[in-house]
Amino acid sequence: MALAFINIFLDIAIFVGVLLIIVGVSSFFVVKDLQKEYKKVFRIHSKFEIELRKLVNLMFKFLEHAKLGPYNDVVIKQLPHEEKRNLLKIIDEIYQTVDKDNEENKYIVETYQNLEEIRRIRDSKVIIFNQKITMFPFNVYVKIMKLETFHTFVDKQ
């Protein structure tokens, strides 16, 4: 009887040990995957902010538009999301008035097109990341790692 109890206890201990090893290994891979995805989104987000700063500087310097004055000397990275959305709307308004065939505006047009491309890529990566962190088991680790969701710049349809 005692031998059967020891065998059952040993089997349960081995099962729990294997289960803990599986949870530990899977946790490692889940955390690494979250870190990798977060870095991807953060990298493209940084590129977006750099391109946005470049375009604001170009438009303010060459087009001398008054609406861009408040954004000329601020750090774009530190602006809240809604302020960046407003800035993008202002840039879109100004860009509509730019003569795209004028040789002097070629760099502004090119920078605007780069910004739009980066915005689309960034928003797609943000949507994928935000969906991923709402699913199990990622949502558990997101709370532990204290990761936040990113906001998109395109309006949801």
Q: Which DSSP string do the residues of 86-142 spell out, in sequence order?
A: HHHHHHHHHHHHS-TT-GGGHHHHHHHHHHHHHHHHHHHHHHHHHHHTTSTTHHHHH
Q: Is residue 8 part of a domain?
A: no
Per-residue pLDDT band at 155 (split at 50, 70, 90): low
What pLDDT digit, counting tens, does each position of 96-149 carry? 888 888 888 888 889 999 999 999 999 999 999 999 988 888 888 888 888 888
What pLDDT digit, counting tens, does each position of 45-85 carry? 999 999 999 998 888 888 777 788 888 888 888 889 899 99
Residue 156 has pLDDT above 60, yes or no: no
Q: What is the pLDDT of residue 157?
A: 45
Domain, as residue range, for 109:
42-157
Maximum distance among all alpha carbons in the chain?
94
What type of residue sits at position 130?
N
Q: Is residue 64 part of a domain?
A: yes
Return the SS3 of 153. Answer: coil
Q: Is residue 74 part of a domain?
A: yes
What type of residue sits at position 70?
P
Domain count along the chain: 1
Q: Is residue 118 part of a domain?
A: yes
Quick check: 155 and 41 in contact, CB under 8 A?
A: no
Higher pLDDT, 1 or 29: 29
- What torsion, rounded to 10 degrees, do the Cα atoms 99, 104, 107, 111 define? -30
